[in-house]
Chains A and B, each alone.
Chain A
Amino acid sequence: MMDITQIFPGIHALLISDPIFTLCRIILVIIGALFVWSGYKRITEPLILIPMGLGMIFVNTAYFFLPPLPPFPEQLGTPHLNPLVGEKLTNVTQAATEISLSLKYFWLQPIYTLLFPNELIACLVFMGIGAITDLDFFITKPYTSFFLAVFAELGTIFTVPLAVAIGFNYKEAFSIATIGGADGPIVLFTSLKLAPHLFVPITTIGYLYLSLLFLFQKHLNRITIPLKMRSVFMDPHTIKKVGKVEKILFDIVAGSILSFLFPAASPLIASFFLGNILKEAEIERLKRFLDDVILNGATLFLGFLLGILLTANVIIDIKILKIVILGFIALIISSVGGSIGGIIMYYLSKGKINALIGPAGVSCVPVTAKISQMEAFKINKRNYILPFAMGPNIAGVITTTIISGIYISIASTL
């Protein structure tokens, strides 16, 4: 008579697994379901958290003994993806064989192998962001924008010593600290470069927090910025119009200077300015392609694959709890720093700048700028501060990219 565990190999894997491992699987399935629910209810950002939550559920329910792939033995795993494929093998031929077999066997392996280890997925997101970004206020007020962005990136700097103090090495600390920039692609890019062994938890926690920004940044804004400073009316018609030629020149000059200074971050810089120059040159077909296809497609696979990568093996490590805490601290420092920058700018401008544009310097484009706009609308539905908030928002992206480039340069000397 056939054993039930042969019909349902998932039950067999469950019965022989370590109880702690099984508990972690159950916890991740529950968290995944919570992610899906919170995204559906729009408590968090649904674009990322619904695919990520679903990925976590599927990867942690589908454990079984994978059929042997000669010359490799039977092993416990999931049919979705093997992120460590070829990495433990020093023999190049064996590694190539394992990669080739994995591409045939795991359905998400081609997407992962093509897009993740070389950070291409982060670059695709940046191309899409470039294609939807209006640089008017940033170009006319670069100093104001960068001033606010620096305050809103303080978490990216101050979290490094905290992480080192609790036992992370500098490369890991740099990667964790980038969560303070709330810029998912940068977190992914930096952690893949500096701490590939921790890139899954760091990036997942980074994306989780930037999805939760929707929930908590508006409350932080209300707590940290007095009503009078949040009420300042800003007329978008006062923003000096920047000509197309100037914008295209800016893309070329700024992109090449940044690439020259921070070559390690050049893929991200090139991607952003490529998207933006296609928008400014009014090449509608390519702009729409980047916005509708590339940005949406990359966001979908990024969210889903991060969920698929979040297996029980990943969270069993005590380091994960530390990253959860450090990531939260990094983001709170940045968000409060943004409010402080906004308040200082309110006084420097003699009350003409709405302090809400400060927290928009936390560089989650365009989410934090949208949060600032929504808060301004709650006080006055005609107060369109979005174009002003986009200035520090874009400066935030550039500042985070610069900080990432500096961290990668410093790490290469360690």
Chain B
Amino acid sequence: MKEVTSPLSGKVIRINVKVGDKIDENTSVLVLESMKMEIDVYPEFSGVVKEIKIKEGEDIESGQVLMIVE
């Protein structure tokens, strides 16, 4: 099990994946809004999404766990 963490603090605008999806280093798993800028978050590894820990519209902190990947 690996954790995808947020690189920045901001608001979750859009979650691009769902539980069971295969993702890799080029998959934008979600879009964050930070300082009025929309920023794609890419994982550093590939795998299958097991759990999504955040919701759209939620304010998150830098380093917060976003999803668990197997």
- Our pick among A132, A133, A381, A386 for the contact of B8 (Cβ within 8 Å) is A386
* Contact A134 to B37, CB < 8 A, known contacts A236-B62, A237-B62, A382-B44: no
| Number of interface residues, chain A, beta carbon within 8 A | 16
Tell me how many residue pairs across A and B have CB atoms closer than 8 Å.
Answer: 39
Residues of A within 8 A of B35 (CB): 132-134, 366, 369-370, 386, 390
For the complex of A and B, the 3 pairs showing the least CB-CB separation, nearest first, are: A366-B35, A384-B7, A370-B37
From residue B1, how far is it (CB to closest CB) to chain A in Å? 20
A134 CA to B39 CA, complexed, in Å? 16
Does A387 lie within 8 Å of B44, measured CB to CB? no
| Contact flags B10-47 to A (C-beta < 8 A → 1, else 0) | 00000000000000000000000011110110101000
Quick one: closest B residue to A239, CB to CB? B62
* A97-137 Cβ-contact flags toward B at 8 Å (1 or 0): 00000000000000000000000000000000000111000
Alpha-carbon distance A54/B8, docked complex (angstroms): 37
User: CB within 8 Å of A: which residues of B?
Assistant: 5, 7-9, 34-37, 39-40, 42, 44, 62-63
A366–B8 Cα gap in the complex (Å)?
Answer: 15
| Residues of chain B with a CB closer than 8 A to A239's CB | 62
- Shortest beta-carbon distance, A142 to chain B, in Å? 19
Given contacts A236-B7, A236-B8, A381-B42, contact A387 B36 (CB under 8 A): no
CB distance from B37 to the nearest CB of A (A): 5
Among A237, A382, A390, the residue within 8 A (CB) of B63 is A237
Which residues in A have their C-beta under 8 angstroms from that of B36?
A: 132, 366, 370
Is A373 a contact partner of B37 (Cβ separation < 8 A)?
yes
Rounded to whole angstroms, the CA-CA distance of A20 and B25 in the bound complex is: 61
Cβ of B7 to closest chain A Cβ, rounded Å: 4
Dominant secondary structure of chain A at its interface with chain B: helix
Interface string of A367-391 (1 = CB under 8 A from B): 0011001000000011010110010
Which of chain B's residues has its CB closest to A365's CB? B35
Closest Cβ of chain A to B64, distance in Å, is: 11
Given A382-B42, A386-B39, A387-B8, 20 further pairs, Cβ under 8 A: A132-B35, A132-B36, A133-B35, A134-B35, A236-B62, A237-B5, A366-B35, A366-B36, A366-B37, A369-B35, A370-B35, A370-B36, A373-B37, A373-B39, A381-B40, A381-B42, A382-B7, A384-B8, A384-B39, A386-B8
Which of the listed residues B5, B35, B40, B63 has the most CB atoms from chain A within 10 Å of its own CB? Answer: B35
Residue of B nearest to A384 (CB): B7
User: Which residues of A sit under 8 angstroms from B8, Cβ to Cβ?
Assistant: 236, 384, 386-387
A75→B7 CA distance, assembly (Å): 60
- Residues on B with C-beta less than 8 A from A387 are 8-9, 62
Binary interface profile of A, 388-404, with partner B (CB < 8 Å = 1, else 0)? 00100000000000000
A384 to B35, CA, bound (A): 13
Closest to A133 in B: B35
In Å, the complex CA distance between A384 and B7 comes to 7
Instruction: Give Cα A384 to B40, complex, Å.
Output: 10
**A369: nearest chain-B partner, CB-CB:** B35
Q: How far is the CB of A42 from chain B (nearest CB, A)?
A: 13
Chain B neighbourhood of A237, CB < 8 A: 5, 7, 62-63
16 A-B contacts (beta carbon < 8 Å): A134-B9, A237-B5, A366-B36, A369-B35, A370-B35, A370-B36, A373-B37, A373-B39, A381-B40, A382-B42, A382-B44, A384-B7, A386-B8, A386-B35, A387-B62, A390-B35
